[in-house]
Every structure is written in C-alpha cells, then in structure tokens.
Amino acid sequence: MSTIVPAPDALIGRRFDVAVAKMTGESRSKASELITSGQVRLLHRPCDRSTTLAAGDMVEFDIVTPQAKPEPIADDMAIAYEDDDIVVVDKPVGVAAHASVGWTGPTVLGSLLHRGVHITDYGAPGRQGIVSRLDVGTSGLMLVCKSELAYKEMRRQFSEHEVVKTYHAVAQGDLPQDKATIEAPIGRAKVSDFRFTVTPGGKPAVTHWDVLERFGEATLAKINLETGRTHQIRVHFSSIGHPLVGDHMYGANPKLAAELGLERQWLHAMELDFKHPRTRLWTHVASHYPADLQHALDILRERHTDDTAR
C-alpha cells in the first residue's frame, strides 16, 4: 500500500534525492536507491534523482515499514470558534498542522478528526481543509475548513491577504521605534534546508509592528503581516538585530531564554479577522497567552520593575 504526501514547503527547489533523504531520514545514497527502484516517485510526472521538487508535487512512497504507531492526539488543543463551515483551533506548541513523513507528534487535522469534527475533503491529501498553517514551534489560532464552500472562499481570502492575522511576539532588546514596517525579501538560507534569510533574490515580505510593552532587555510587540512567508516574523526581526526571545535558530540569546523558562520562540498567533465564508459578516476570533509565554512575560515585567525601582 502506497503513501502519498505533499512536497514539504521547506524542500521545494531541492533535488529529489536530497528531499527524499530529508523526508525519510535515510542517507542520500539510500534515497537514490529508493528513487531508482521506483519505491519513491512523483505523481503525474516523470522523475529521477536530480529532478527538482516543485510546489504542488505529490510524493508517493511504496516503502515497506513496520506498523506505524497511532498518531498521538493533542487533547489540550482548545477550539476558539466553530460552526458548520469552519473551526478555529488554539494550537498548542509542539503540534503540527498536518501529518508529514518523519513527524511522529500530534497534528491539528488528526486531533480534530479524532474528536469527530467533520472536515471537508477539499485540499491536498493529508491536508484536507487546511488553508493556512502555523509552525510546530508557534502556538495560536489556526483556521480549518469544514465545508467545501468555506475551503474555496477562505483559501481565496488567505491567498489574497484579506484575512488579518495578528501575532504577539517578544523581541530581544529595546525596539528603536513604537511603530514600524519591515519590508525585505525572504528566501532560503544556504547554510540550512530549514532556515530562511533576508536576501535580494527572495520573495517580497512585509511585516508591520507596534510596541505594546517595553522591558528594556526585551519588547512585546503586536505584529501584522501583509505576506505569509515561512518564518517571516522570525527572519525579519532577526534581520534588524532583534531576534525573538527564545529563537535560537535565528540568533536569540540562550541565556535569556533559560532565565525566562522558554524552550521555544516567544511568538503567538493572537487574533484572526476575516469575512465569514457563508454569512459574509466580519468575524473576530481572539486567543490568550499559553502558560509558558505568560510565565516568561511575568518574569520580564518583574525584572523590569526591579530595575526601574533601583
């Protein structure tokens, strides 16, 4: 029995043998053998080891593996809004949007289906109903479509940037302005398959931020995106010398993260505003800070108060 999965966004543009090695955890030579033998292939187009993986590619695996363990369920994933057309979850950190090769943790889609939530069949296999995603290490609001009507309309709204996505983030240091915009193209970093960077050859990316609270050593900001590039907020803030607290991949100070009890970047998808796909009424959904981010914020406030009192 074969398994079909969408090509991961982080591997688009890579050689097929390199991508298969990343997806399976095998060596590149073993990945080449799997491709040559036909155990791994692309649907709908011929391929060999050197084929470049493209957006929209579907990868089919015929690899015989031991019986997989059932996917763990995110029992603590709250539902912030639900009706017959859409469900908005408050995704915890450590939960992926959907299943992918090599991921063994819980997913938003799997956890919703386990609860009996009906999800539309529209969408790529394994990604049904999903029109936008959050990284595993980012918590907050994520919308999933339950009806065909919702999938078509919300996919359009997200692709045309009509949905207002508001994030809260804590950046290292004292941001130089109360309100500003970062406009810088983002592309894949040469040093890593999974890192991105500001580069002249990247895709356009625009990030707006407003300061909510200053702590001297860090700044809490509200962020809105005009574009939705991979790791956009993390890359943009790192590019101006203020990486998100706890974001070691993009240059954050690990000592500060340890002092705040953080094991991931301080970033949360706080609000979603969109036109309801059926009623066309403007709909607002809000979240709250999860315990680890709130704890870090409390420590920052306490330290700032102590410094001010001195």
Domain CATH number, residue 39 = 3.10.290.10
pLDDT digit string, tens, across residues 287-301: 999 999 999 999 999
Residues 28, 83, single domain; the answer is no
294: in domain: yes
Residues 88, 43, single domain; the answer is no
145: in domain: yes
Question: Would you tell me how many other CB atoms lie within 10 Å of the CB of residue 132?
Answer: 19
Instruction: Provide mean pLDDT across the span 126-154.
Output: 94
Q: Which of 61, 90, 105 is the last residue of a domain?
A: 61
Q: Which residues neighbour 33 within 8 Å (Cβ) at sequence distance 6 or greater?
A: none
Distance CA 288, CA 65 (A): 41
Residues 52, 141, single domain; the answer is no
The catalytic position among 48, 62, 83, 135 is 135
Tell me which residue has tokens 């941001």: 175
What CATH number corresponds to the domain at position 148?
A: 3.30.2350.10
Residues 57, 83, single domain; the answer is no
66: in domain: no
Residues 205, 262, single domain; the answer is yes
Closest CA to 18 of 47, 42, 49: 49
pLDDT for res 63: 66
pLDDT digit string, tens, across residues 9-34: 778 888 999 888 888 777 888 889 99
Q: Is 178 in the active site?
A: no
279: in domain: yes
Q: Which H or E run contains 78?
A: strand 78-82
Number of domains forming the structure of the chain:
2
114: in domain: yes
200: in domain: yes
Residues 134, 28, single domain; the answer is no
67: in domain: no
| Domain boundaries, position 201 | 78-309
Stretch among 65-69, 102-106, 269-273 having the lowest mean pLDDT: 65-69
Instruction: Provide mean pLDDT across the span 203-216.
Output: 96
pLDDT for res 150: 97
pLDDT for res 68: 52
Residues 127, 92, single domain; the answer is yes
Closest CA to 50 of 27, 24, 23, 20: 20
Residues 11, 102, single domain; the answer is no
Phi/psi zone of residue 246: left (φ > 0), alpha (ψ -120 to 50 degrees), beta? left
72: in domain: no
Residues 88, 57, single domain; the answer is no
pLDDT for res 192: 63
pLDDT category of residue 64 using cuts at 50, 70 and 90: low
39 near 63, Cβ under 8 Å? yes
pLDDT for res 249: 92
Residues 286, 141, single domain; the answer is yes
Of residues 283 and 308, more confidently modeled: 283
Does the structure show a pLDDT above 80 at 208?
Answer: yes
Residues 84, 57, single domain; the answer is no
Q: Flag whether the pTM goes above 0.75.
A: yes
pLDDT category of residue 148 using cuts at 50, 70 and 90: very high
Burial 77-92 (b: 16+ CB within 10 A, else e): beebbeeebbbbbbbb
Residues 131, 254, single domain; the answer is yes
